[in-house]
Structure 1
Amino acid sequence: MPSSFDRVVAVDAGVDELFSYGGVTPDNVETLVHGAIFTRKPSDLVNTAIFVGGSNVAAGERSSKPSRSLCSVHSRSRS
């Protein structure tokens, strides 16, 4: 289940849109990241943030590692 704490912090920080997903794992994070980056033109990517949170830090770190890798590969390909 998505963290209500993380969502409230994002809203208080002024996000325009917020999508929350529960049950994200290293095996299914790639689809979510691709959906966020490949549907936007390169100039809009600066306004795209991927936040991995939750109460299990180790699981969050395992899930965020592939997303960081995917985002950095896409960023390098635009340079």
Structure 2
Amino acid sequence: MALKKYKPMTAGTRWRIGNAYAEITTNKPEKSLLEPQKKTAGRNFQGRRAMRYMGGGSKQHYRIIDFKRNKRDIAATVVSIEYDPNRTA
């Protein structure tokens, strides 16, 4: 995987290096593996603010991943590797 170097605009970004996903990902994710992900923005069931400093951010979809791996004798091919905003590993 390629690494992306940041310009030293501030002291915190001087030695910062991140992952460049443009080489391995496709332009658009597979729609059959996406689900909408609802954000509460720190509000409870009444709509009142329950936590401070929460909210905003970009809209995300939940990626459906089969972790069980119980399908035996079925040939599979990797079509693409996609970025997942919900996982850090």
* TM-score, normalising length: structure 1: 0.21
Higher relative contact order (CA 8 A, sep 6+): 1
User: Which has the larger share of helix?
Assistant: 1
User: Which has the larger share of strand?
Assistant: 2
* TM-score, normalising length: structure 2: 0.20
**Over alpha carbons, which structure has the higher Rg?**
2
